[in-house]
Amino acid sequence: MKKKPSATYKIAYTDSTGRRRGKTFTAPTKREAVIKANDWINSNLDNGKPVISVSEALQKYIDAKRGVLSPSTIRSYEGIQKKHFDDIGSTSIRRLSNATVQSWISRLSSSGLSPKTVRNCFGLLSAAVFMQDDTIRFRVQLPQAKQFENYCPSESDIAVLIEQIQRDGDGELLRAVLLAAFGPCRRSEVCALTADDVKGNVVIINKAMVKSPEGVWVVKVPKTRDSYRKIVYPDFVIRELSGISDRIIPHTPDYIGDKFRKTLERAGLPHFRFHDLRHFGASIMMYMGISQKTIESRGGWSTNSPVLRRIYQNQIDEEMQRETEQINQHFTTRFTTDLLQG
């Protein structure tokens, strides 16, 4: 039986590594072979751009940002990339649709991830894809963020905490707590301070101790420009820093966090994070009527920081509760004493 003649059509394209490659299409006629080639181009290439998967796009994005983002941010991105992209990692970015991405988001949410983690996953995907092709944007529904519910310690909590630390004789933790609560400083900033950063009553914040992508603690410049600042501390804090010739707190942030948790337990205090010492400092300044600009500058927050807005709302809620109790007490005293006794 005589074999029917066939035609071939060959194209050249660039793969995801930037290498030039060729692909041949065979059909009964040259015209049909060209149609097959065009169909493949429309499905896999976009105006000669390389075919690239989601995983490749993520890696290219992370590598491109490695020199400008903080080590902790890069480490976070790499963790997200490793854990949450298995089912779409091999998909070409040009085959991603709103429906595909929405289904992926729903699977992440139903797996028990927090709304914040799901949002971070989507943010990384969007940024990585946009870097490769700025025409690709997704319109999806993200899980609603949970309401901020961390406990903000009171002045009495801080007093009890300091008394417990003094009973323990832990000068290092005491210095860390004073710097965080009355600065307010971040734990990473506290652990990076040296004696050279203390000039009289001024503490200069110009570095932070963070984990590198390899999991090693390193001292780096601050994460944001707003974090560079000079904080004038009260005398009682500065006295605790005197006589030190090297690092103010010769430990890692994890070490300080672990000691802090154990001290809270011994003191019988409600659980709160070391980071909440900053929120305590901000809430007290707000209660005193200090301007938001001064609070932002002292704590290294960006202008109109959402963190400060949450703290401010908590302060308003507490004040409203106190005023409500004051109103009800007034009415109770005025009208039940004489008029409504019976």
Per-residue confidence at 338, pLDDT binned at 50, 70, 90?
Answer: low
DSSP run (H or E) holding 227: none
- When pLDDT is cut at 50, 70 and 90, the band that residue 105 belongs to is very high
Res 119 pLDDT > 90: yes
State the average pLDDT over residues 167-179. 95
Number of H helices, E strands in the chain: 13, 7
10 Å Cβ neighbour count for 161? 23
Q: What is the pTM of this model?
A: 0.64
In terms of phi and psi (left: phi > 0; alpha: psi -120 to 50; beta: otherwise), the region of 260 is alpha
Mean pLDDT within 185-213: 93
Report yes or no: 285 and 294 within 8 Å, Cβ to Cβ. Answer: yes
Whole-angstrom distance, CA of residue 176 vs CA of residue 186: 9
Length of the chain: 342
DSSP bridge pairs for 232? 202
- Contact, 263 vs 161, CB < 8 A? yes
**Token representation of residue 265:** 């337990």
pLDDT mean across residues, the chain? 85
CA 19 to chain centre: 37
CB-based burial label for 283 (10 Å; 0-12, 13-18, 19+): buried
Q: What is the pLDDT of residues 256-276, one digit of tens each?
A: 999 999 999 999 999 999 999
